[in-house]
Amino acid sequence: MQKNMKLLIGLIVVVVVGGLGLLMWQAHENSPEVQAEKARVALAKKFDKAPDGHYVHLTPTDATLYKTSWSKEQLAQYVRTGNKDRTTFGTKQTFNREDSGNKNSKGITDQLSNTKTVYPQLDEQDGNYNPYFDSIDQARKDPNVKNNVTDINY
């Protein structure tokens, strides 16, 4: 009887310790720090797998980087003269002229109209950003892409 009691107590201790360990592991895995690190690693893998080509980051705070078939000149020409309500910007997605990454922000075309792509003489330190990148590596180094992009659409 005493042997069975020790075995039962030992079994209960193992189950409790195992359960607590599992709960602690789950709490750790669901912590914001671990989730942020997983997202960073997943985005790094997307950058590594992204095909060669040109990319656009349509607004400084846009969470998506898009692969485009347009040249820098085509993008600049559209922004200077484009009066279409909808365009793809050479991506797989169609955008409305007023779309932006932020509801309180100007539309894409308004934001692009003051960029280095349209007016190369503009300085990024004056609040202008470069939405067009000749390669994924060039985009990866851009501060707006680094700070805001969480997805790559190719």
Q: What is the pLDDT of residues 22-70, one digit of tens each?
A: 999 988 888 889 888 888 898 899 999 999 999 998 888 888 999 999 9
Residue 103 pLDDT: 46
Reported pTM = 0.68
Measured CA to CA in angstroms, residue 23 lies from 15, 16, 20, 110 at distances of 12, 10, 5, 50
Q: What is the DSSP string of 72-94?
A: HHHHHHHHHH---SEE-TTSSS-
Neighbours of 135 (CB within 10 A): 13
Domain spans of the chain, in order of start: 35-153
Mean pLDDT of 79-100: 75
**Mind listing the pLDDT tens digit for each residue in 113-135?**
767 666 665 555 555 678 889 99
